[in-house]
Structure 1
């Protein structure tokens, strides 16, 4: 069924060159309406955490609404009251927008980048649309809107200066940085530490007990994947982030689970090498790099004093490694 529906769906999309002037105006009206709705969604998403930036996007939504009204007035004067329903997805090669419900919980800088991309795409659309109309008043309007979209970065900057003072901007950037740490860095670092340290003993115990690299790799793989799944579910389930402000539990769970698995796989992968001592020496080098990298990340993102991080991670990991080797020899 899908095989028959897909070609039909694709063939129903029109090329931009085939659109009439009436359809170009209708497409522009729908695009401005959708952009205004997206900016309002951005504002709603940011209102609690970044109220000043939320006001910027509210004003940008008002600008898009003004553009839509100008286009509707032009359409009425030329074609009457019935506006054809034509959307971006009806035109081949036309730029797409993420649905409103996908903009929730986006980082502030990501939203700013997406807004800049939206204005650039709208500028290109109006530039091309103006080339395809012959009516002087319509062409002038589309050209003016192209210039307006091109100037939206300056408008956004002016609105930012109006609503977001230097102190507020610094505060919002600090809040965004703190949110990034709470949502990604902390769970990821906890996972990396757990995966790197907790799997040391079973992997090296198996290595020295069996001196079979393939068996050691399988044990390391199972320990790493199992630990990743466990850490991911634990992180996601124990806190929904609403009260703690730590962000989406799914994002935190993925960060923790993936980094846990990576931490364990780092010193399991060398045992794909069939020569035992070559694999073990390489695994030891990987462990050394892992532990010092974790200490650096703790110092860089968690503001943990470097020597304390070294004591916690490097010394602790070395003790776990030694325990695994001793148990394996026993």
Structure 2
């Protein structure tokens, strides 16, 4: 890799041309990805992609006048100090806020590059163009705000808010709720079976810990591998899998942790089991509330499905452990 200070004027222009081309493709990719979820914001990124294309054309025209038609094979990845852009295939299904932050970083870095490049340029025409591009990149945020004010009408903004809520539910709430339900319910039987079979808090805790972590890993992989999000719009499979796995583990650990009550304490098993039972009660009602709040499930129906189902699993665990 070359240091920025070692670049020739020709190489600086070549890097700038390659950068504008790549940034234009990234903005266009953002626009395509947002077109269904956030059509008004997609137009903003389409405009920004067109701006990058205009910058590239101006740079190419100047380069051809100064150095001819052949570009040296150098990109910003070959220069020390540049942040690496996400590959385009990794920009799919990002949240709108993440995409906006990504664009801000791109604009800031490009403006800084042009400022430094203009300071090193010896040709008056090159210096002027690079300085103009630095100002243009600094103004991209203002451009986005202006375009947003023009394009994001109250009606469009309301539609995007609805779309954002739907995306939030698909990417975070749905996999998180699935994990919490599985972790809270599926670990009840093995945990309370071990508890009533051994009457030993530490051994019960180990069983619950193993069941919670195992269920978390299993659910995380199952969620991540079930859907890549390309057709359903459910977002990054890695993110969904992580959310699902984490919530599954937490759901199981909630009623496992009470069994850390030391066995040396009088009535330790009764104390731990009472606390665990109270935690289970809170977990099941919390899941019913979340289903009613975000999944448009009638509250009484959610209570019947979750609380009754959890109670049956809990009773099964106690009966098996006490047999």
TM-score, with structure 1 as normaliser: 0.82
Within the alignment, does 1:55 sit opposite 2:43 as a pair? yes
User: What is the aligned length?
Assistant: 318
Q: Distance in 2 between matches of 1:31 and 1:237?
A: 34
Give 1:217 shift.
Answer: 2.5
Q: Distance in 2 between matches of 1:236 and 1:299?
A: 25
The structure 2 residue matched to 1:22, chosen from 10, 35, 50, is: 10
Instruction: Spell out, residue by residue over 1:156-196, the C-alpha distance to the aligned partner (whole angstroms, 9 max, x if none).
Output: 12223343322112212211220220232112102202211
Residues 308 and 48 of structure 1: is their aligned pair in 2 closer, same or farther, counting only changes over 3 Å? closer
1:164-243 equivalent positions in 2, closer than 5 A: 164-232=152-220, 235=223
Residues 237 and 41 of structure 1: is their aligned pair in 2 closer, same or farther, counting only changes over 3 Å? closer
TM-score, with structure 2 as normaliser: 0.83
Contact 2:94 2:236 in 1 (8 A): no
Give 1:14 shift.
Answer: 1.1
Residues 95 and 231 of structure 1: is their aligned pair in 2 closer, same or farther, counting only changes over 3 Å? closer
Give 1:210 shift.
Answer: 0.5
Q: Which runs of 5+ in 1 are unaligned?
A: 1-12
2:85 aligned counterpart, secondary structure: coil
1:142 aligned counterpart, secondary structure: helix
1:1-330 equivalent positions in 2, closer than 5 A: 13-232=1-220, 235=223, 246=234, 251-272=239-260, 274-275=262-263, 276-277=268-269, 279-280=272-273, 283-284=276-277, 286-287=279-280, 290-291=283-284, 293-302=286-295, 313=306, 317=310, 320-321=313-314, 324-325=317-318, 328-329=321-322
Q: Which runs of 5+ in 2 are unaligned?
A: none
Give 1:39 shift.
Answer: 0.8
Q: Distance in 2 between matches of 1:83 and 1:264?
A: 59
Q: Distance in 2 between matches of 1:92 and 1:301?
A: 47
Give 1:17 shift.
Answer: 1.7
